[in-house]
Structure 1
Amino acid sequence: MRRKPNRNNVIKRFDNKEKIVKYQAHRGVSSDAPENTMPAFEMAAKEGYGIIETDPSVTKDGKVILFHDRTIKRTLRINGNVPELNTPITELTYGEVLKYDAGLFKGEAFKGTKVPLLKELLDFAETVKIPVKIDNKIFNFTEEDRSKVYDVLNSSSAEIGITCQKVDFVRDAMKHVKTAEIHYDGEITEEILKTLSDECAGKNLTVWVPIKNRLTTWVSVPFADEKLSSLVKKYARLGLWILESEEDLAAAKALNADIIETTGSLKP
């Protein structure tokens, strides 16, 4: 008897055949919980997402935390209020970061939520067997800070993916985290895809292309269409980001996506 695919990871194609795909939770289920926090990550696992995407930062005292923005005002609160100073997160020690509430900006239900360490997410991911994908922002770090991220990743047995915008970054990631899957979201040409395919021989390679919608108006790379998607799939799995509507989902179906990323507005 054929094993039925997990309904949480199925997209029904227009020809009514089933295709196993992964739903990636952008900063966890950030539509419903505070982004890059344990509640958002736990929600992703509970709701059946196949990958958790997250954003490391490094504190002043060298701790690898999960925090997207350069500065603190948008998502952190102190004594229930927006901080007076928009301090860069990298100018705070980990102890100072823990004085802030990372949940209140999303609502009283999340009061008391703290900025987590990368290690906390990886420990959770090991337990529930969900892959974690690291954002490409680590390649803007100093070499010293990026090494701190690599050290934490290498200390975990969780399934890891690293996002890279350039071929040189792919080589750096593969050199330092040998078990990592590679996700690429930079310039796409057939020559680059061939190089990526050669560099990643024996590894899973996913190439990410944006869907054109309200959330991607700022991007400067080409949007997904049939021609570009078909080219990508000659060499890699196709990831589409960042989806928020049934219309986006229909477009992803038509383009034969392997992974789709959403903030949580689309559920597996």
Structure 2
Amino acid sequence: MSKVICITSGKGGVGKSTSACALAGSLAMSGKKTVLVECDIGTPNLHVLLGCENRVIYSITDLAVEPIEGEKELLSSQALIKVTSSDKSNYDNNLYLLAGSKQIRRDKLTQKELYKVIEKLKNDGFDFIILDSPAGIDDSAHAAMYWADMAIFVVNPEMSSITDADKAIAVIDSSSYRAENPSYGDAVTKHLLVTRYDQQASEIGDQLTCDEIQSILRIDSLLGVIPEANKHLRDASQRGLPVVASSLVNHAVGQQYIDAAQRLLGNNIPLRSNKVSFFQKIFKK
């Protein structure tokens, strides 16, 4: 049975799309048939992060809208891009992308349209359908949150990021399909993913700790803690690879995302230390 996961943040610029690509790639590496869905219709970038800029023919919008009279309805198999890597990473056989349009046709999808897309993908037998939500809590972000079975809240250890995430949590708790229809089953499962984390700064009080963030947001499940690594993430983006790709995964960032995906699958994986040594700081990448 397919699981629908919404990756959201409330605030932009926290690493949400980077995290979506890394988690999707990690799940695919674990043998799970995974599709990453671009829900940011206005400013899509998943196709860039995954090196698929020149392979986008149809978009989520094309799959969602009703066909013009006399035309056949688009099949999901026509719109999906099978993600392959330049370094032959072992997610190549299980990772797919439903991209956003490179042309500005419209700025959002309705809940009904997104439901239609999700049902098509469920019928395709995907284990995980990962919705990369737009930042914020407007109608387009709400549409992505509405159909979620699970929600992953990506936050930086800053109060502005945390307060915005708290608003997104309120939307999930009050206005998701599961919240509005309790007879359907359990409430949306919530997980926390902390990015740009400096463990040493948190230990001396210069940054919020993970415990403090969890306490503020009232989320028990800490899926992962991703260290600050601007250069490494920039290199991955420029190469069109998720940070869990074979040629990048030896870095702590890739390992943390792989661990996070294993926790998502229910495996008991201890959190790694994010401490940076004196020499690592000098030669930081």
**Length-normalised TM-score, structure 1:** 0.42
Larger % of helix: which? 2
**Length-normalised TM-score, structure 2:** 0.40
Ranked by relative contact order (alpha carbons within 8 Å, sequence separation 6 or more), the top structure is 2
